[in-house]
Structures are given as C-alpha cells and as structure tokens.
Amino acid sequence: MKNFRISIYWKLFFTILLFILLTSVIIGMLYTGFAPLTEIHTQTKKSLINQTKALTEQITFALENTPSSLEDIIKDLHVKEDADIMIIDTAGNELVSFIEKGLKKTTGDHSQTIESALIQGWDIQKIYYRWELTPIVSVPLKKNNVVIGIVQSYYPRTRNLQGVLPRGATTLISVIILGGLISLLSRYLTRPVRELTKIAREMTKGRFGLKVPIRSHDEVGQLAETFNNMSQSLEDLHNSRRELFADISHEIRSPLARILSDAEILIDRKMDEDERNQHLQAICADVKNLDRLIADLSILSRLELNQVEMSFSRSKIADIISNAASLFILRTKENNINLKQTVGKNLPEVMIDARRIGQVMSNLLTNAIRYTPEGGTIEIGAKQRGQSIEVWVKDNGQGIPEEKLPHIFKRFYRTDKSRSRSTGGTGLGLAIARQFVRAHGGKISAESKLGEGARIFFTLPVSV
C-alpha cells in the first residue's frame, strides 16, 4: 500500500469527474428551482385572470359611461394602478399600449391568443422579463356587449410564482462554492511545484543541498525526488570543488615555502660550493615536483571533462606489458626487486590508446616500487575474463589498510600523508589511472591486506 501511486492522470480524472458531478447537481438544482417558474400556479392563474377581468370591466364601464377616449382610460390605469396594458383589435393590430419600458412582448402574432381569448374568455401567455417569468393575460374587451378588442395585461414581478430561491442567487452561491473547491484543489495540486520553484530560486543564489518535501509518489513526487538528488549532487560538487581548491593551494604552498626558504638561505648566508649545490638541488627538485603536479592536475581536469583525445588502435596487451616492464628494469634492479611478468597465452587483442595504458602501468609500477621494500617481488600480468582482459600489478610490500582501499583512487588521497614529502607523491597517480581506464570503458580496483602487499587491477574490453 505504501508504494501505491496515484498518478496525476487519476487526480485529473477524479477532479473532472467531481467537477462534472457537482455541475450536474447544480444544473439539477437550477432546473428544479426553475420548474415552478415555467408553470403558473393554478391559483395564481385564476387570480390573474380575475384581476384582468376586473380591469376590463373598469375599462368597459369608463367607455360606456364617460366621454374619455380609450387611450385616456388606459393611461389613467397605467399611472394610477401601475397596470401594464395593451389593447389590440381582433385582427391583432395594436390600438393603445402603456407598458413599462422594455417589457412589451415583441413577437407580433396574436392570432392564437385572440382566438383562445374569444372562445374561452381568457388566455395566458408567458414571457421572460429581467430573468423572471411574466404572465400576460388576455381577455376580450366589450362595449355595449360588442367585442371591440382584446385587453392584454402584463404582470411583471409576480413573486408568488416562484417557490424556491431566485435563480440568480442559486447560481451565485453555486459558483462561489464551486470556485472555492476548484481553487482549493488547484492549490493542492500545484503546491509541490511552488515548493520546487522556491527551492530552485534559493539554489540560484548558491544555497545547494536544500530539499523539497516529497508529498506524493506520482510524477510530481518523482520530480521532487529527482530534484532533491540533483540538489545533493550540486552540493557534493560544490564541496568537492572547495576541497579541491584547498588541496591544490596546500600542495603548491609547501614546495613554494621550501623554495623560498632555500633561496633566502642562499642569499643571506656565506657557504661553500657543496652546501650551495645542495640548496640549489632542493630548489630544482621542488620546482620539478610543482611542474609535475601542475601537469597531473591539467591532465586530470581534462580527463574529467572528457577533453583528452584518445587514439585507439588494435594492440597486443603482452607488448604493452613488456614495454612498461622494460622501462622499470633499472629501478627494480637498483632496489633489488624481482619484476615478474605473467601474461596469459593467446590473449585476444584490445582496442586501446597504447600510450595512455602504458602511462597507467607506469603509475601502478611506480607505486609498487615505492611501497615494496628491497628484495620484494612485483608481478605484472594479464589474463582473459569474459569479454575483458584483466591487467594487474601485484607487489608484496606494505599493503593498504582495508578501510582505506575505497579511497585510494580519489584525488590527493594518500594513506600516509607524512610520507608524501620524502616520496614526492601527491596522490594524483591513481586518480589519473582511473580516468584513463574509464575512458577505455574499463574499471580499476584494488585488493590488499596490510603487510602482505597490494594488487591493483583493471579491465579493458576485448576488441571485436
């Protein structure tokens, strides 16, 4: 259940479903609220007809007993009784009308109304005026018992027609509720994105490593997780860059300080030729070390940025190994070290940059000689392992403590920092070797037991 993912798809699905359901409910409510308005209550109908009949009798009375014109009578009723009346003749032509502005029915055909008014004595029509149902009651107008036309009386604002909340109010309340719900939902859905934006802004100011809370396991949750990983990587990168600068300045400072002190001694003190040469040689050694450090750093940074061009060619690993070994014969002899080669027979060729792989072997052999006492043995060998050739350099020197093994390929890492000055190592050799091996699509590792020597080995894919 923990890993159950509700994807945005489903969120949207349910949102739309909910939306449709709510809309239907609202439409339903509107419809039911609207229903009484389409029908005029029988009681109301009767009362409206009676009202109109009473009005008509008033008009008939005035026509028969006063000298006032039809127009004056209707005007009088409109002003005094607030009645909205139109008189049409039996052919449907308008004779007189005093009706509130805008209320008047615009459709011209009265024939049905007239017919029904004449036959049953009344007729009711419905029009909508300002969103409300307005009944129009038509009854025949008689003078001296002769029909002279039809009285049409309009009844706007007939409040008792509607039994429920006015339509406008229902709509407004529904829209407010729906709007609120949608707004809440949208806020809920966009919250992680807003959080991401906030943290991303902080990161542009250089504050790395900040995390966004992971609130879901959907696509947005995955994005948040990826974002957090990115933030962590950026922080690591930031820290490693800082450490690198600190390491570099430290590595450069020490030889520079020694050079300065040697130079000052040379200037300040009177000394014989021998002593003078000693100081000059020390200066030369430090300058050489600095030069090598800068060269190493330069190749390492270019390797990390994939900017070192490689020239691959089909090569026999046995040749590369014997070449590398021949370069170290003198040094091993000097240290009374036995250098062995164990190369498997009929090894397939590899596609490599022979010069770079030679450099890797040089780095490994330099280390092996450096950490192997006189009379020791160094073995350099190769064998096939599946689709790769494994190459190794093994010594029986002091070895590497187990807990330090995972670190030896890091830049500037030395198991024993105090030895660096006498041995001249800066801890870049294995880092460079690792990058070269990686550039060939291989892997480099180390195995060792303290006091029993070390074996550093790397793989190279067999050329196809």
Ligand X SMILES: Nc1ncnc2c1ncn2[C@@H]1O[C@H](COP(=O)(O)OP(=O)(O)OP(=O)(O)O)[C@@H](O)[C@H]1O
Reduce the DSSP state of residue 461 to 3 states and report it: strand
Query: Rounded distance, CA 431 to CA 424, Å?
Result: 16
335 binding ligand X? (CB under 6 A): no
408 binding ligand X? (CB under 6 A): yes
Report the nearest approach of ligand X to the CB of residue 383 (Å). 20
Report the nearest approach of ligand X to the CB of residue 295 (Å). 11
- Only segment of 32-40, 48-56, 152-160, 410-418 that touches ligand X (CB under 6 A): 410-418
Can you list the positions of beta strands (E) in 232-376? 313-315, 338-343, 350-352
User: How many of the other CB atoms lie within 10 Å of CB of 1?
Assistant: 3
367 binding Mg ion? (CB under 5 A): yes
> Using CB under 6 A, which of 84, 123, 247, 395 touches ligand X?
395
122 binding ligand X? (CB under 6 A): no
Residues contacting ligand X: total by CB under 6 A: 22
User: How many of the other CB atoms lie within 10 Å of CB of 341?
Assistant: 14
Report the nearest approach of Mg ion to the CB of residue 299 (Å). 14
397 binding Mg ion? (CB under 5 A): no
- Only segment of 51-59, 74-82, 280-288, 411-419 that touches ligand X (CB under 6 A): 411-419
> Using CB under 6 A, which of 56, 152, 396, 426 touches ligand X?
426
Report the nearest approach of ligand X to the CB of residue 297 (Å). 10
- Only segment of 113-121, 146-154, 328-336, 413-421 that touches ligand X (CB under 6 A): 413-421
- Only segment of 49-57, 79-87, 292-300, 424-432 that touches Mg ion (CB under 5 A): 424-432
Measured from the CB atom, is 242 or 292 closer to Mg ion? 292
Report the nearest approach of Mg ion to the CB of residue 433 (Å). 8
DSSP annotation of 145:
T
415 binding ligand X? (CB under 6 A): yes
Q: Which of ligand X, Mg ion, none has residue 371 at its interface (CB below 5 to 8 Å by kind)?
A: ligand X
- Only segment of 2-10, 235-243, 264-272, 419-427 that touches ligand X (CB under 6 A): 419-427
149 binding ligand X? (CB under 6 A): no
Query: What angle in degrees, to the nearest 10, is found between the helix axes of 354-370 and 429-439?
Result: 150
Query: Rounded distance, CA 428 to CA 408, Å?
Result: 9
Report the nearest approach of ligand X to the CB of residue 377 (Å). 12
Q: What are phi and psi of 171, to 5 degrees?
A: -60, -45
Angle at 396 between CA 391 and CA 398, to 5 degrees: 115
> Using CB under 6 A, which of 114, 360, 400, 437 touches ligand X?
400
How far is the first Cα of the chain from the last one, in angstroms, to the nearest whole number?
48
Measured from the CB atom, is 332 or 367 closer to Mg ion? 367
Instruction: Evaluate whether 380 touches 321 at the Cβ level (below 8 Å).
Output: yes
Enumerate residues 6+ apart whose C-beta is below 8 A from 414.
420, 425, 426, 427
Report the nearest approach of ligand X to the CB of residue 370 (Å). 6
Report the nearest approach of ligand X to the CB of residue 391 (Å). 15
Within 365-394, which residues bind ligand X (CB under 6 A)? 367-368, 371
Query: What angle in degrees, to the nearest 10, is found between the helix axes of 429-439 and 273-304?
Result: 30
358-377 in b/e form (b: 16+ CB < 10 A) is bbbbbbbbbbbbbbbeeebb
Measured from the CB atom, is 283 or 431 closer to Mg ion? 431
Measured from the CB atom, is 152 or 367 closer to Mg ion? 367
Reduce the DSSP state of residue 343 to 3 states and report it: strand
Nearest to 452 by CA among 382, 390, 391, 377: 377
Instruction: Evaluate whether 239 touches 253 at the Cβ level (below 8 Å).
Output: no
> Using CB under 5 A, which of 399, 429, 442, 453 touches Mg ion?
429
> Using CB under 6 A, which of 221, 255, 381, 425 touches ligand X?
425
Report the nearest approach of ligand X to the CB of residue 189 (Å). 52
Nearest to 162 by CA among 52, 39, 337, 276: 39
Q: Which of Mg ion, ligand X, none has residue 312 at its interface (CB below 5 to 8 Å by kind)?
A: none
459 binding ligand X? (CB under 6 A): no
Amino acid at site 161: L
Measured between alpha carbons, how far is residue 206 from residues 99, 124, 155, 411, 434 in Å? Answer: 75, 78, 74, 25, 30
Measured from the CB atom, is 391 or 430 closer to ligand X? 430
Nearest to 398 by CA among 344, 436, 454, 346: 454
Binding residues for Mg ion (CB under 5 A): 367, 429
Q: Which residues sit at the interface with ligand X, rule CB under 6 A?
A: 363, 367-368, 371, 395, 397-400, 408, 413-416, 425-431, 454
